[in-house]
Amino acid sequence: MKSQATLKKIAEHLNLSISTVSRALKDHPDVAGETIRRVKDLANLLNYEPNAFAVNLRQKHSNIYAIIVPELAGFFYNSFIDAVEEEAQQRGYNIMVLQTREDPAIEENNLKLCRYNHVAGIFVAITRYTNDFTPFLKTMDTEIPIVFFDKVPEESGFPSVSIADEEMGALAAEKILKSGKSKVLAILGNQALSITHRREAGFKSVTEKNTHISLSCAYCENETQAFDTIMKMPAESLKDLAVFCMSDELLCGVMQGFYERKVSIPGDVGVLAMSNGFFPRLFNPPISYVETSGYQLGKLSFTCMVDLIGGVEYLSEVMLRGGYIENSSL
Amino acid sequence: MKSQATLKKIAEHLNLSISTVSRALKDHPDVAGETIRRVKDLANLLNYEPNAFAVNLRQKHSNIYAIIVPELAGFFYNSFIDAVEEEAQQRGYNIMVLQTREDPAIEENNLKLCRYNHVAGIFVAITRYTNDFTPFLKTMDTEIPIVFFDKVPEESGFPSVSIADEEMGALAAEKILKSGKSKVLAILGNQALSITHRREAGFKSVTEKNTHISLSCAYCENETQAFDTIMKMPAESLKDLAVFCMSDELLCGVMQGFYERKVSIPGDVGVLAMSNGFFPRLFNPPISYVETSGYQLGKLSFTCMVDLIGGVEYLSEVMLRGGYIENSSL
DNA sequence: AATTCCAATGCAAACGTTTGCGGAAATATT
DNA sequence: AATATTTCCGCAAACGTTTGCATTGGAATT
C-alpha cells in the first residue's frame, strides 16, 4: 500500500510549505519551535523517511563508500571491511561491498556502478590480472576519490595503502633462518603480481646473504597448486626443510600436502606463513606467522580516504608493518 | 573537474530536445536511425553516463539488491553471495552487501539504508538476537520484497529459504551411529536460535531411538566456547566417542581442542560436521560432513525473490537438502 | 507615528531523467 | 488531389529534495 510519505504530503496536512517542512526536520533555526514540533510529530506518525534518490540528486553525491575486492572468501578482506565500516558508521556513511572474482571485466563494471551511483569514495584491491588502469582514471575524473589497498598498482602515483611487503618478507626470512634448517622452500603467489615481487624480494634479500642455505621457489596460482607442489616433492627433500608461504591460501594447500604425506612439523619441516592470523591457529601444530593485519590496513585506508577528500595533494603511498607471531611450527 | 555530461548538454550540442536524446540512447523506435547514431557518437565522445539518482528518482526503484548477513567471515555466506550475484548480474542488477555483526541495532540500520535507497529486494540472514520483526515489517510495507535465508525467523509466515535442518540433523545422527562409538557428544550453537533447535531435534529424533548410546549436548556461542568444552572434558570420556558439530565455527574450536589434547581421530574420537565443505578439508584427517551448500541456497533464494516480485502470493518456506560427504574422520 | 529589524514562512528554481501526448512533416493510400 | 497514415521529434510534467531569495507580520527602535 502506502504511498510513501513525502515532504509535500506533510506540508499539505499542516498547511505549510514544503520548504518549511524540510527545514523543520533538520532543526533549521529559521523555523519556529512550535512548528518544528508539529512537523516532527506528523513525520513520525506517517513514518516519513527521506527519499535518498532525491536527496542525492540534489546534493550530487551519496553517503555510501564502496569497497571492491577480488574475493570475499578468506579472512583478510573481512577484517579490512570491518575496520572501514566502523569508521564509516561513525560518520554516518555506509558501506557497499563489491567483488570482482579476479575478473578485470567485472572490476570495470563495478567501477561503473560506483560512478553511476556517485559513491562518496572507493576502496579497491585490484585483481591479479588488472593491468589497464583507464577505468580507474575515468572514475577519478568524476571526482570520486579512490584509495588502493593491499593489491595496489605496481606503478606508483596512486594513493595506496599496503603491507610493507618487502620488510615483512625480510622478517619472515630472518625467522626462517633462525630455525636452522638447511633447505628453504618459498611458496609464492602469481608471478605477475607486484605483491609477489615485493615479498619475494624482501625474502631473498635476506636469504641471499646466507650462502650456506639452499633456497628454492615455487610460484603457485592457488591452493591446489600449492598442494600439488608439496605432493610432488621427493621424500628426501622433506627433511631439514623450512617452508615459507606468502599467503593463507597457499598455506592451506601446503598443509594439506604435509598432512597427506605425514611429515612431522616442526621436526622434519618447519612452516612459516604471512597471514592475518585466522588460519594459522587451525592447523596442528599452529603455524607461526608474520602478521598482516587487514583491520589495521582498513583503519589506515580510511584516514587516507579522509585526507584525499580533504584535498591532500601529495599522493601518499602508505605502508603498514606487522610483527611476528610465534607458534610451534618452526 | 569535468562537469559530467548530461542529456541536456548532448541535446544542446546537437540541437535536439532532451527527450529525443534520451530515447535515442535506448534505441527507441520513434527516433531516426541517423539521429541515434549521432547521439550515441557524441555520448561516447563525452563519456556520457546516466545519473542513477535521477533515473531512480524517476522510476522509483534502483537496480540493486541488498544482502544482509551477520558476518562476512566464514565461507558459508560467501558462496551464497556468489550465487545471488551470478543471477543478479545476468539480469543487470547489482549486489550490495551489508553486515550486522550479530547486532539487531545495526540490522535495523541496514534495513533503513535499504529503504532509504529503495533497493530492488533484500536477502537477509537475521542475527542470533533478532526477535523484534517490526523493522522488517516496516520495510515490507514499503513494497520492498524480503527473502529470509539460512537464519530465518522462527515463526513462519515470512518467505524463507533455508537448509532442511531437521532432516540434515537426522542424517548426521545416522552416520554417527554407524560409526559404532558408544558415546555421542553434540556441539550445538546458541540455544536461542531456531536453527539450533531444528538441527538438534533432527539429531535427537534419531539418537533417541537407539537407547544403547549415551548422548550429551553442549551449547556453544562461538569457537572459543567449543574449544573450552573439549578442553574441559575428562580424559576417559575421550575414548569411543563420536562428536557432532553443527557448524564450521564450532568445528574449528573443537578440532583445536583435539589437536591440543592429542586425541587420535578417528581412532579414539570420530568427528562429523555440518558444513559448506571448505573447512573440513583443512583438518587432519579431513572431516566427514553433511553438506549445507550456500551456493545452492543462493540460487534458490534468488528464484524465490523473483517469484515474490512476480507477485506470487503463497508465502513459501523452501527447504534445501544436502548429502553426506565421507572423509576419514569417522 | 514612522522607521528599522527580526522572526517565521513561502516561492521557485534546480538536480537529471523518463514518458504521455501532441504536432509537423513526410509518405502512403484512396 | 485529398485524405489517412506513418515517422520523427519536442513540450512539459513529474519524481522528492534543498536552498537562495523574497515576503509577511509584528516587535523593537527612533
CA atoms within 13 A on the CB side of A297: 31
Residue A270 φ then ψ, to 5°: -100, 150
Least confident of A104-108, B212-216, B226-230: B212-216
| Contact call for residues B256 and A282 (beta carbons, < 8 A) | yes
pLDDT digits (tens, 9 = 90+) for B74-99: 778 888 998 999 899 888 888 888 99
Please choose, from the candidates B233, B223, B237, B247, the residue with its C-alpha nearest in 3D space to the C-alpha of residue B172.
Answer: B247
Looking at residue A83, its amino acid is: A
Given a cut of 60, whether residue A2 has pLDDT beyond it is no
Confidence of residue B314 (pLDDT cuts 50, 70, 90): low
Check whether the bond before A266 is cis (ω within 30° of 0): yes
Q: What pLDDT is recorded for position B3? A: 65
By CA distance, what is A258's nearest residue in B?
Answer: B284
Confidence of residue A1 (pLDDT cuts 50, 70, 90): very low
Nearest residue, CA→C1' of C6: A30
Place of cell 555520448: B43
Rg (Cα) of chain A, in Å, rounded? 26
Beta strands in B89-193 (DSSP E): 94-99, 121-124, 146-149, 160-163, 183-188
**What does DSSP assign to residue A280?**
G
Q: What pLDDT is recorded for position B2? A: 57
Element (H, E) at A140: helix A134-141
Check whether the bond before A285 is cis (ω within 30° of 0): yes
> What is the average per-residue pLDDT within B102-107?
95
Q: What pLDDT is recorded for position A318? A: 87
For residues A26 and A226, give the distance between their C-alpha atoms in angstroms, rounded to a whole number. Answer: 58
Give CA separation, A173 vs A206, A207, A237, A290, B162, in Å: 6, 6, 19, 10, 47
Give the nearest nucleotide to A4, CA to C1': D16
Contact A51 B72 (CB under 8 A): no
CA atoms within 13 A on the CB side of B319: 9
**What does DSSP assign to residue B218?**
E
For residues B5 and B45, give the distance between their C-alpha atoms in angstroms, rounded to a whole number. Answer: 10
Residues sharing a CB contact under 8 Å with residue A33, sequence separation 6 or more, in sequence order: none
Mean pLDDT (chain B) is: 92
For residues A211 and A254, give the distance between their C-alpha atoms in angstroms, rounded to a whole number. Answer: 26
Q: What pLDDT is recorded for position A288? A: 97
**What does DSSP assign to residue A236?**
G
pLDDT digits (tens, 9 = 90+) for B18-56: 999 999 999 999 999 999 999 999 999 999 999 999 999
Chain A stretch 4-63, residues whose beta carbon is closer than 8 A to a beta carbon of chain B: 4, 47, 49-54, 56-57, 62
Please choose, from the candidates B195, B189, B197, B247, the residue with its C-alpha nearest in 3D space to the C-alpha of residue B218.
Answer: B189
Q: What pLDDT is recorded for position A3? A: 66
CB atoms near residue B327 (< 10 Å): 17
Looking at residue A183, its amino acid is: K
pTM equals: 0.88
Confidence of residue A224 (pLDDT cuts 50, 70, 90): very high
Residues of A with CB below 8 A from B101's CB? 82
Element (H, E) at B219: strand B214-219
Distance from CA of A187 to the nearest CA of B (A): 18
The three three-digit cell numbers of residue B317, written as one number: 518456506
| Contact call for residues A76 and A53 (beta carbons, < 8 A) | no
Nearest residue, CA→C1' of C12: A19
Confidence of residue B1 (pLDDT cuts 50, 70, 90): very low
Nearest residue, CA→C1' of D16: A54
Contact B1 A99 (CB under 8 A): no
Element (H, E) at A65: strand A64-69
| Contact call for residues B207 and B184 (beta carbons, < 8 A) | yes
For residues B151 and A198, give the distance between their C-alpha atoms in angstroms, rounded to a whole number. Answer: 42
Looking at residue A145, its amino acid is: P
For residues A300 and A84, give the distance between their C-alpha atoms in angstroms, rounded to a whole number. Answer: 9
Contact B259 A285 (CB under 8 A): yes
By CA distance, what is A57's nearest residue in B?
Answer: B53
Q: Could you give the angle at the alpha carbon of A145 between the alpha carbons of A141 and A146, nearest 5°?
A: 100
For residues B145 and B115, give the distance between their C-alpha atoms in angstroms, rounded to a whole number. Answer: 11
| Contact call for residues B142 and B116 (beta carbons, < 8 A) | no
Q: For the sheet containing B94-99, what is the strand order?
A: A317-320, A160-163, A146-149, A121-124, A64-69, A94-99, B94-99, B64-69, B121-124, B146-149, B160-163, B317-320
Place of cell 556468489: B82
- For the residues of B8-36, what is the DSSP string, one character each? HHHHHHHT--HHHHHHHHTT-TTS-HHHH
Distance from CA of B209 to the nearest CA of A (A): 35
Beta strands in chain A (DSSP E): 64-69, 94-99, 121-124, 146-149, 160-163, 183-188, 214-219, 241-245, 269-275, 288-291, 317-320, 324-325
Confidence of residue A28 (pLDDT cuts 50, 70, 90): very high
Which is higher by pLDDT, B327 or A90? B327
Instruction: State the best of B116, B139, B327 to mutate against chain A, taking most chain A CBs within 10 Å.
Output: B116
The three three-digit cell numbers of residue B123, written as one number: 536477502
Q: Which of residues 57-76 of B touch strand C (CB under 7 A)?
A: 57-59
Rg (Cα) of chain B, in Å, rounded? 26
D18 C1' – B36 CA distance, angstroms?
35
- The beta-carbon neighbor of A138 closest among B47, B279, B281 is B47
For residues A60 and A62, give the distance between their C-alpha atoms in angstroms, rounded to a whole number. Answer: 7
Q: What pLDDT is recorded for position A4? A: 81
| Contact call for residues A111 and A98 (beta carbons, < 8 A) | no
Confidence of residue A327 (pLDDT cuts 50, 70, 90): very high
> What is the average per-residue pLDDT within A33-53?
94
For residues A288 and A273, give the distance between their C-alpha atoms in angstroms, rounded to a whole number. Answer: 7
- For the residues of A110-125, what is the DSSP string, one character each? HHHHHHHTT-SEEEE-
Least confident of A151-160, A173-182, A256-265, B220-229: A151-160
β pairing state of B324-325 and B288-291: antiparallel
Q: What pLDDT is recorded for position A19? A: 95
Given a cut of 70, whether residue B289 has pLDDT beyond it is yes
Q: Which residues on adjacent β-strands are paired with residue A148?
A: A124, A160
For residues B146 and B297, give the distance between their C-alpha atoms in angstroms, rounded to a whole number. Answer: 15
pLDDT digits (tens, 9 = 90+) for B126-175: 998 998 999 999 999 888 999 999 988 877 789 999 999 999 999 999 99
pLDDT digits (tens, 9 = 90+) for A71-130: 887 778 888 998 999 899 888 888 888 999 999 999 999 999 999 999 999 999 999 899
Please choose, from the candidates B324, B30, B319, the residue with its C-alpha nearest in 3D space to the C-alpha of residue B149.
Answer: B319
